[in-house]
A and B are shown apart, each in its own frame.
Chain A
Amino acid sequence: MAEPIRLDYVVPGDDFTRAGEASADLKSRLKSLGFPPAAIRRAAIALYEGEINLAIHAGGGRITVALTPERIEMALDDEGPGIPDIALAMSEGYSTAPDEVRSLGFGAGMGLPNMKKYTDEFSIASTVGEGTHIRMAVLTAG
């Protein structure tokens, strides 16, 4: 079996206008690699929400993508403040985003729920004061 294609991105923490560059790049690469359109859209939306979170909450972070014909795997790692109550953070409408973020069109408390909704596999681990680690996968046949 061929080795997975690996893509690495760094999301800056100080420039909200650049959040979304990684997901836009992933989307165009998946298109040129011939992945199914529905899988591309789900993966791109989930990663975009993740990028926004990295920029808003975590002071930036790293994204690692691994591609095989069957799976689009995305790992998001940051060294931000962490999430004290993951169950609460996963509920729709819960947000700790400041008004400034809301004025930018985000912070509606839909980020993590959207990421889970659009992916086939989703896991999150977080330690307060150390950071958050998210693993997501979209199955191309799903």
Chain B
Amino acid sequence: MKISDILSILDAQLLTEGAGLEREVHTACGSDMMSDVLAFVKDQSVLITGLNNPQVVRTADMMDMICIVFVRGKKPDAGILALAEERGMAILCTDHTMFTACGLLYAHGLRGGVH
């Protein structure tokens, strides 16, 4: 699917500018623990998280992810958004919980990476 598909599936809001929404994403990871995200190098493109701090963007950057979805309506501050925009990442915000957001994306074909 594309980042633009995630936007509509999760009824999400796009918070960054300039990130290409037509980029394809195939795999995702959902976690609030950044060390767990860093523990598995898989070619994942999307991070779904309820954690709201700059280390979320830095972690996603280390993993070459291109899209972060903040769940439960959490809105990152301007500093976090600037960090993401510098890296060409799309930041999305949805009111869905982590469980529901992951379930909706899975139902539409997005998968976890292979260990």
| Interfacial residues, chain A to chain B (CB-CB below 8 A) | 16-17, 19-20, 23-24, 27, 41-42, 44-45, 48-49, 52, 104-111, 113-114, 117-118
Contacts and interface: CB of A to CB of B under 8 A. Distances in A.
Interface in B13-35: 32-35
B interface, by DSSP: helix, strand, loop or mixed? helix
- Tell me which of B32, B56, B62 has the highest count of chain A C-beta atoms within 10 A of its own C-beta: B62
13 contacts: A17-B55, A20-B58, A20-B59, A27-B62, A41-B41, A45-B41, A104-B53, A105-B32, A105-B34, A105-B53, A105-B59, A106-B34, A117-B39
Interface residues of B, number: 21
A105 B62 contact: no
B82 interface: no
Contacts of B39: 110, 113-114, 117
A114 B35 CA distance: 8
A45 B62 contact: yes
B35 A104 contact: no
Interface of B: 32-36, 38-39, 41, 49, 51, 53-56, 58-59, 61-64, 79
A42 B33 contact: no
- Tell me which of B58, B59, B61, B63 has the highest count of chain A C-beta atoms within 10 A of its own C-beta: B58
A108 B24 CA distance: 31
A45 B64 contact: no
A129 B38 CA distance: 29
